[in-house]
Structure 1
């Protein structure tokens, strides 16, 4: 029996480098799952949109949000797209996860951040209350990984803002908790002023193996959920 298709859904970006990095991540996931039909869709900015892509998939599908927290896009946009189909499931988003903490720690090293003192975790921010524990959970995981204080700060929609946290922690490095280059990364660079800022989880090179593993694991969890529902 064929395995369910994988629909990898990211936010979408007008930044060419960011879009290319996410597309490469999806290709590397497809290479890890050669017996799975892998599709790419978006919730905003880019096409094809997730509902149209899902409608074109004949048979069961696992929707993996390439998003870092719960929120409107995961539970409303993607949930609404999957709801009419008994053979489609939306998995958890990518974060929080210890593997992301490992990538963030590596990005801090690459940025030349000092190994002492607090770190500011720059999060896009969402008005959806479900996103808050995910951001705080990611900060806690990174604090454990680094053995130092990590303060979550937001680029939009929530407080404290990144500039406000940097006022309290001048010179602290900013760990960019974003999937790829795009609007919010540009905001991060601007509001961080002279503070060291890391690359996002995806840079211009190969996607981190941990991130590929994470997407594959989300797919397998969704596949198991569909199998249980069918049984």
Structure 2
């Protein structure tokens, strides 16, 4: 599905204004499989937003850094965090980079969003979800309370799509941890516990989800067109924020 640009940033009728760059800012990973997945997702974004310049940036591990990309990009830009919840990197790293220029804004993280819930549902179905299962929405986690709020909101979007109970677990930064959520589900009588990997790509946190002891663990969200459409939607919202300046 292609998303048509709105009338860019309508500050007048000057059609020579450059199309704002979408800076797709992910965490970064040492795992090549995860790097390939993020690159594939960025390519899907380019397909969804033809004509929009797209640049990759990272907050950790990989280069170029978000600061370097913001400093080097020509013309206005919208930073879209390829992160599922608010946290340190959105509140500090990305926000700081956006403040260095008047023509750059930072969009919200990707979650919560109904399209992500549909993607999680498909991953659960592909993993063989069945009656009697208990689903643990397994997120990376953050010490920032707004991150947990976002994950709980994502749970509230996913739960109505399922007949199975859905609880939340975190790999780090917040409680309950995924392993504790898995144990609690078993203690409550679940026939099987299925960890729904609420992570974007293979890497450290997806491995933490796998190691948490669930009977079944789904694949990460990955390079899915629905995720690309969420990124496009965040970009469009960023255009509106630029136009309001």
Shared fold (TM-score, shorter chain, > 0.5) = yes
Which aligned runs of 4 or more in structure 1 are off by greater than 4 angstroms? none
Q: The residue matched to 1:210 in structure 2 has which SS?
A: helix
Rounded to whole Å, the distance in 1 between the matches of 2:54 and 2:93 is 20
Where does the alignment leave 5 or more consecutive residues of structure 1 unmatched? none
Rounded to whole Å, the distance in 2 between the matches of 1:191 and 1:29 is 32
Bigger mean CA deviation after superposition, 114-123 or 209-218:
114-123
Measured against aligned partners, the alpha-carbon deviations of 1:19-48 in whole angstroms (never above 9, x if no partner) come to 101011111111222221110000011111
Matched residue, 1:199: 219
Rounded to whole Å, the distance in 1 between the matches of 2:238 and 2:131 is 38
Report how far residue 173 of structure 1 moved.
0.7
Which residue of 179, 198, 212 maps to 2:200? 179
Instruction: Give the length in aligned residue pairs.
Output: 224
When normalised by structure 1's length, the TM-score is: 0.93
Which residue of 225, 231, 241 maps to 1:215? 231
Rounded to whole Å, the distance in 1 between the matches of 2:117 and 2:48 is 22
Decide whether the 8 Å contact of 2:44 with 2:225 is kept in 1: no
Decide whether the 8 Å contact of 2:85 with 2:110 is kept in 1: yes
Rounded to whole Å, the distance in 2 between the matches of 1:141 and 1:147 is 13
Rounded to whole Å, the distance in 2 between the matches of 1:115 and 1:106 is 16
Which residue of 170, 174, 195 maps to 1:158? 174
Q: Aligned-pair RMSD on alpha carbons?
A: 1.2
Matches within 5 A, 1:43-192: 43-170=59-186, 171-192=192-213
When normalised by structure 2's length, the TM-score is: 0.88
Matched residue, 2:14: none
Rounded to whole Å, the distance in 1 between the matches of 2:163 and 2:106 is 34
Measured against aligned partners, the alpha-carbon deviations of 1:143-166 in whole angstroms (never above 9, x if no partner) come to 012143210101112111111111
